[in-house]
Amino acid sequence: PPPPPPPPHPNQASMKIQSVAFTENQSIPKKYTCDRMPGTSELNPPISISDVPADAKSLALIMDDPDAPMGTFVHWVVWNIPADTTELQEGSLPTGAIEGINSSRKNDYVGPCPPSGTHHYRFHLYALDTVLDLSTSAGRGELVHAMEGHILSEGELVGLYQRGA
């Protein structure tokens, strides 16, 4: 399993990460999951970001499912999101943001698709004091390693999903 995310920089307030599509510990709409309308592509939900530290140089985002049967499943890995970003729009990323490899071995967002039960999907946002130099073949482990010593602040949004619910 990949290493746990590094601790945040001391004495920093948390950033806020929210979505107009779902609220904390509430259900993620089907449109952002594997149960979306047939023939439509997978879309990341819209995400709003606030309280980014003024000295941040970039943002990184990891979306994962700690309830996956084979261990934590990484759905989305993104870095070098411009620090002045206040919104990740539905189905898109800001210019300059880079998507890494998820657990499906794709450089893309993979929506929730739990085999059974209700799973928790963590959208974990990091403000960094640097812009990262990582290959698009990097995944969560490489991103976590590259962020060590560079995290200024972080925030988390958790959504739930159960197929057929």
Whole-number pLDDT of residue 39? 80
Strand 151-161 to 26-27 pairing: parallel
Whole-number pLDDT of residue 6? 53
> Over the stretch 25-81, which tens digit does the pLDDT of each residue have?
999 999 999 998 888 888 999 999 999 999 999 999 999 999 999 999 999 999 999
Distance of alpha carbon 3 from alpha carbon 27, whole angstroms = 27
Whole-number pLDDT of residue 11? 47
Q: What is the mean pLDDT of residues 9-21?
A: 78
Strand 98-99 to 47-50 pairing: unpaired
Please check the confidence at residue 160 and state whether its pLDDT lies above 90.
yes
Closest listed residue to residue 30, CA positions, set 45, 48, 46, 49 = 45
Distance of alpha carbon 90 from alpha carbon 111, whole angstroms = 12
Classify each residue of 76-86 as buried b or exposed e, where b means 16 or more C-beta atoms within 10 Å of its C-beta: bbbbbbebebe
Distance of alpha carbon 113 from alpha carbon 162, whole angstroms = 8
Distance of alpha carbon 79 from alpha carbon 137, whole angstroms = 12
> Over the stretch 90-146, which tens digit does the pLDDT of each residue have?
999 999 999 999 999 999 999 999 999 999 999 999 999 999 999 999 999 999 999
Whole-number pLDDT of residue 49? 97
Whole-number pLDDT of residue 14? 86
Please check the confidence at residue 3 and state whether its pLDDT lies above 80.
no
Q: Residue ranges of the alpha helices (H) in the chain?
A: 140-147
Q: Three-class SS string for 134-157?
A: CCCCCCHHHHHHHHCCCEEEEEEE
3-state class (DSSP) for residue 60: strand
Assigned token pair, 43: 């879309």
pTM of the model as a whole = 0.90
Q: What is the mean pLDDT of residues 12-32?
A: 92
Residues facing 160 on adjacent strands: 27, 120
Whole-number pLDDT of residue 12? 54
Please check the confidence at residue 9 and state whether its pLDDT lies above 60.
no
